[in-house]
Amino acid sequence: MPKVKVNGVNLYYEIHGDGFPLLMVQGLSENVYWWDTPMIDELSKHLKTVIFDNRGVGRSDALEGDLTIEVMAADAVGLMDALSINQAHILGHSMGGMIAQEIALKFPERVKKLVLCSTSCGGSKATMSSLETQKLLTKLSFKGHTRKLVEEAMPHIFTKRFMDENPEFMKKKIDDILIIPTGPTTFKAQMGSWMRYNSYRKLKELNLPTLIVHGKQDILVPPRNGEILAEKIPNAEIKYFESNAHLIHTEEPSKFNEVLLKFLK
């Protein structure tokens, strides 16, 4: 299993394909198993696709001490250094989108193009999820990825239509998540880093090609958050997926890849 020591932590990573690098940053409690094989297979035909586990999740080292978005952004750049990647496209999903914003703000020379998927700027300007979703996140912070809570979480990240039409896929998705479940310590720490992050006033500094992708049915990170990013980031493009929820790239991988690759050309 490929690992590299970054900022005192061993990070697990995978490289798929050749070409210009695309570094993909996962969201809250998510590891590489959350990226779907068809999506990665297609992207790897065009790009050197790098996926990894943030500290504390998956096969990376267990979490010790405090955690911030800034620390995880430094980890991602450290991984680029270790892999001799001077510059890459950066794609961040959900909390990973906050990490991607921080990479672009602190290390703009390392980013060629930025893709922010199903994410927000955080802080008081962000639109919060429903009270029901917030209660679920609180339970996960205390218990981590139990099968019961992962099953309970699925309607908060997928549309009902997709779940009803793909029962076998949903069963496998839950099984994949539970291969290396995220414990409560990491979940709570990542949740705290998400809640403390606020890039709103700095978004105007993101003077690089930026694509914002958001599902109109997203209840975890409501679509208004994509609008806020598009309004504040200079010349940002925004693409809505009208029928999708939080995991756009899972519900419509072919369409997502088409939009992504067109932007990254």
Q: What is the pLDDT of residues 125-163, one digit of tens each?
A: 999 999 999 999 999 999 999 999 999 999 999 999 999
Which residues, including other chains, have CB under 8 Å from residue 71's CB and lie 6 or more apart? 7, 55, 193
- Return mean pLDDT, the chain: 97
DSSP label of 202: G
Tokens of 71: 């620390």
> Residues 65-87: what's their mean pLDDT?
96
Is the Cβ–Cβ distance between 233 and 205 less than 8 Å?
no
pLDDT at 64: 84
pLDDT at 73: 98
What residues does each domain of the chain span?
A: 3-127+189-264
Confidence of residue 1 (pLDDT cuts 50, 70, 90): low
This prediction's pTM: 0.97
Distance of CA 53 to the CA centre of its chain: 11
Amino acid at 72: M
Domain 3-127+189-264 fold: Rossmann fold (3.40.50)
- pLDDT tens per residue, range 108-131: 999 999 999 999 999 999 999 999
Task: Report the percentage of the chain scoring pLDDT > 70.
Answer: 100
Sheet with strand 9-16: strands edge to edge:
3-6, 9-16, 48-52, 21-25, 88-93, 111-117, 210-215, 237-241
Which residues, including other chains, have CB under 8 Å from residue 101's CB and lie 6 or more apart? 92, 114, 116, 119, 121, 199, 203, 206
Interatomic CA distance for residues 212 and 62, integer angstroms = 31
Interatomic CA distance for residues 99 and 74, integer angstroms = 9
- Torsion on CA atoms 61, 64, 68, 70, rounded to nearest 10: -60
